[in-house]
Amino acid sequence: MADAQLVLRSTRVITPEGTRAASVAVADGRITAVLPHDAEVPRGARLEDVGDDVLLPGLVDTHVHVNDPGRTEWEGFYTATAAAAAGGITTLIDMPLNSLPPTTTVGNLRVKQEVARSKAHIDTGFWGGAIPGNVKDLRPLHEAGVFGFKCFLSPSGVEEFPELAAAELEAAVAEIAGFDGLLIVHAEDPAHLASAPQRGGGAYKHFLASRPRAAENDAIGLLIDLAKRYGSRVHVLHLSSSDALPMIADARREGVRITVETCPHFLTLTAEEVPDGATEFKCCPPIRERENQDALWQALADGTVDCVVSDHSPCTADLKTPDFGTAWGGISSLQLGLPVIWSAARERGQSLEDVVRWMSAGPARLAGLEHKGAIEAGRDADFAVLAPEETFTVDPAGLHHRNRVTAYAGRTLHGVVRSTWLRGERIAEHGRLTDKTGRLIERTSA
Ligand SMILES: [Zn+2]
Instruction: Write out pLDDT tens, residues 164-198.
Output: 999 999 999 999 999 999 999 999 999 999 999 98
* pLDDT at residue 436, rounded to an integer: 74
**Residue 26 C-alpha to ligand 1 middle, in angstroms?**
34
Structurally, at CATH architecture level, domain 6-55+381-433 sits in Roll (2.30)
For residue 242, how far is its CA from the centre of ligand 1 (angstroms)? 18
Q: How far is the CA of 87 from the centre of ligand 1 (A)?
A: 19
From the CA of 138, how far away is ligand 1's center (Å)? 20
| Contacting residues for 158 by C-beta, under 8 A, at least 6 apart | 97, 98, 102
CATH architecture of 59-367: Alpha-Beta Barrel (3.20)
**Residue 446 predicted with pLDDT over 70:** no
**All residues at 6 or more sequence positions from 291 whose CB lies less than 8 Å from its CB, including other chains:** none
What's the 191 CA to ligand 1 centre distance in angstroms? Answer: 21
Cα(220) to centroid(ligand 1), Å: 16
pLDDT per position as a tens digit, 98-109: 999 999 999 999
Give 2's pLDDT tier (boundaries 50, 70, 90): low
Rg (Cα) of the chain, in Å, rounded?
21
At 426, the amino acid letter reads: R
pLDDT tier, 6 (very low <50, low <70, confident <90, very high otherwise): very high
Does 396 sit behind a cis peptide bond, omega within 30 degrees of 0 on the bond before it? no
Ligand 1 centroid to residue 302 C-alpha, Å: 24
Contact 307, 93 (CB under 8 A): no
Does this model's pTM top 0.75? yes
- Cα distances from 130 to residues 82, 168, 172, 390, in angstroms, run 29, 9, 7, 43
Q: Report the separation in Å between the CA atom of 202 and the middle of ligand 1, taken as the mean of its atom positions.
A: 23
DSSP 76-126: -HHHHHHHHHHTTEEEEEE-SSSSSS-S-SHHHHHHHHHHHHTT-SSEEEE
Q: What local confidence, expressed as pLDDT, does residue 157 receive?
A: 87
Q: pLDDT by residue (tens digit) across 309-348?
A: 999 988 888 888 889 988 888 898 999 999 999 999 999 9
Task: Identify the pLDDT of residue 320.
Answer: 85
Express each pLDDT in 367-406 by its tens digit.
999 999 999 999 999 999 999 999 999 999 999 988 888 8
Confidence of residue 60 (pLDDT cuts 50, 70, 90): very high
DSSP for residue 423: T
Q: How far is the CA of 42 from the centre of ligand 1 (A)?
A: 45
**Cα 263 to ligand 1 centre (Å):** 10
Find the 320 Cα to ligand 1 centroid distance in Å.
17
Q: Rounded mean pLDDT of the chain?
A: 95
pLDDT digits (tens, 9 = 90+) for 86-137: 999 999 999 999 999 999 999 999 999 999 999 999 999 999 999 999 999 9
Distance 95 CA to ligand 1 centre (A): 7
> What are the domain boundaries of the chain?
6-55+381-433, 59-367
**Cα–ligand 1 centroid distance for 66 (angstroms):** 10
Please tell me the distance between residue 65's alpha carbon and the centre of ligand 1 in angstroms: 6
Q: What are phi and psi of 146, to 5 degrees?
A: -70, 155
Nearest to 64 by CA among 92, 83, 45, 89: 92
Residue-wise pLDDT for 415-425, tens only, equals 999 999 999 99
